[in-house]
Chain A
Amino acid sequence: MKRGIPLSAGLLIWIILLSVLLSGCSGKEEPGAQPASAAPAAAGDVTLVIGAYSVAKDAVGEILPQFQQYWKDKTGQKVSFQESYEASGTQARAIAGGFEADVTILSLEGDVDKLVKAGLVDKNWKDAPYQGMVTRSIVVLGTRKGNPLGIHQFQDLARPGVKVLYPNPKTSGGAQWDINAIYGAGLKQSEREQGKKDPAAAKAFLEAVHQNIESLDKSGRASMAAFEYGVGDVIVTYENELLARMAKGAQYDLVVPDDTILIENPAAVVDSYVDKHGTRKVAEAFLDYLRTPEAQEIFAKHGFRPVEEQAMNAHRSEYPDPPGLFDIQYLGGWSEVRSSLYSKRGIWYQILAGI
């Protein structure tokens, strides 16, 4: 083409090269920065790195300053925090991949198991009080104000013309709770009708609900956002997520189905990293603190069901147990659910692929 072009092209290449060099330098600094600040700082002070799942953000953010005060009163040591909030599965993968969190709060047991498998968390982490759990919730249905379609049970989601939203458990581990709830409600129904659990009937039920799916979002948050933009009639989500939205002024109806699943969210000390950072004492104290009535009260304020009895009793009237409430054991426990529902060619895959 014209003469000027090679000159400007050459210039462009130099500019690109220069920027690559520059970003190369700053890129080198980044990974170094993390362990540096995560390691014990000046004598007496301590930094606790917290890797949590995104939904816990508001509640944990409120608990941290209280724990700071508590720890200062108890030991005179000043503890500061580094917080990271990601979708539960992403967070677990980040920690397994080298994000050196001291304490992790995740949405489901399976994600802590990933850390156990990576050799970072002790395999006996469930020996802690409440089997290692810090909060509970249940799976509920959110409808438009006034519940115009008269949705009361999971069975109503399979009615023709009802547009349903839930996230994809393939991209969001937390969404497994939602699918477990629908599948379990199908099992419950088959148990009532036939006297025994019938996995085939439960699969057919999940399939019928899936026919009405309007959007299969990548995370619970994305699903909620879509619902907020006016998409769909019903969202299948956690009670705490919906309560938090409604507390911020969203005009929805919260419907508690008779048959639904009890959600339990774990927290654990990441043994390898606390030993590396020398933060085991404060990390374990923090985990214990999460289960104190004070911290549990904060969780309750943000829509979670406390695991601790005293705090739970105080909120009993807000968090009634639905008559058909079941837990993960009803579905055979996590390892059974992982292999039957979410394995490579499991029930969930068959429903998605339409086979």
Chain B
Amino acid sequence: MNSTLLRHKGWTWGFRTTVLLYFLILIVLPIAGVYVNSLSDGWTAFVQNIGDPIAWKAVLLTLKLALTATIINALVGTMAAWVLVRYEFPGKSLLNSIVDLPFALPTAVGGLMILVLLGPNSIVGKAAASVGLDLVFHQPAIIVAMVFVTFPFVIRAIQPLLEELDRSAEEASYTLGASRTRTFFHVILPAMVPGILSGAMLAFSRALAEFGAVVLVAGNIPGRTLTASVYIFGEVESDNEAGAAAVSILLLTLSFIILWLINLVQTRRMSR
């Protein structure tokens, strides 16, 4: 196979059709179905479902916790990417491969591990309890779960940018007498910002939807520790599909806006 073969007209046409069909059947149809299903009872029913205090409290809580998790990931992820690209140390390539593991692990297993490691009988849990802090089954555990499942996004978004970064620009900055801090903030950081932003937004929309890990480590109490995805699960289980679909729409729309923003950030970067 070479790329001239792939440029043949038939191939291009075939690819385009299969991709479009694939996209339509597996992504567009189910998502459109959620919208149609949720609005089938009319707008008033939809507004009523969203206006349910348990529902909107769950959505607000999810937004708050996902935002916290995203900020943590943006900070730690940026540092991790920096270390992984710029420093040489034994075990670096191993560490680099470990970064993606949260993607490979069923999130429920991640949740279970959080439960075991931070639970009331663990060392961390006992230390937290002695200062009057509850971890597991309270909001901190939900944030930890969200951080865990979205950990790779920011790192993987920044790494290629750092690798592509032109060393000569950096060196020029030093030669012109700029300090290390100044160079970092005026040369290196601007190059990383699109990565941080798009990685963080991906992480955010993934954190919004996280279910497997959260359902295990959260107390799932409405208004306190019930996240949107768990609320949706509860509504499906209690035969209230319209209520579940209404909250799903809210999450979907949010995620869609976020992904569109990522796209904007990236196209801006490309055009520069």
By a beta-carbon cutoff of 8 Å, the part of chain A in contact with chain B is 3, 6-7, 10, 13, 16-17, 20, 89-90, 93, 168, 170-172, 213-218, 222, 226, 229-231, 344, 349, 352-355
Contacts and interface: CB of A to CB of B under 8 A. Distances in A.
B119 A218 contact: no
A94 to B, nearest CB: 12
A231 B137 contact: yes
B136 interface: yes
Interface of B: 1, 3, 6, 15, 18-19, 22, 26, 52-54, 115-116, 119-121, 125, 136-137, 215-216, 218-223, 225-226, 230, 233-235, 237-240
A214 B137 contact: yes
A231 B136 contact: yes
Given A170-B238, A216-B226, 18 more contacts: A6-B3, A7-B6, A17-B18, A170-B235, A171-B234, A172-B237, A213-B219, A215-B219, A215-B220, A215-B225, A217-B220, A230-B120, A230-B121, A230-B125, A231-B120, A352-B223, A353-B53, A354-B53
Nearest to A90: B237
A13 B18 contact: yes
27 contacts: A6-B3, A10-B6, A10-B15, A13-B15, A13-B18, A90-B237, A93-B239, A168-B234, A171-B234, A214-B137, A215-B137, A216-B220, A216-B226, A218-B215, A218-B220, A218-B234, A218-B237, A222-B216, A229-B115, A229-B136, A230-B119, A230-B121, A231-B120, A231-B136, A353-B52, A354-B53, A354-B222
A337 B18 CA distance: 53
A171 B233 contact: yes
B238 A214 contact: no
B6 A6 contact: yes
B215 to A, nearest CB: 6
Contacts, number: 83
Given A20-B22, A168-B234, A213 B221 contact: yes
A355 B125 CA distance: 33
Contacts of A229: 115-116, 119-121, 136
Given A213-B221, A229-B136, A353-B54, A170 B234 contact: yes
A58 to B, nearest CB: 23
A353 B18 contact: no
Contact of B233 (A3, A218, A353): A218
Contacts of B237: 89-90, 170-172, 218
Contacts of B225: 215
Nearest to B126: A230
Contact of A354 (B137, B223, B240): B223
Contacts of B240: 344
Contacts of B221: 213, 215-216
Most buried by A among B22, B52, B234, B240: B234
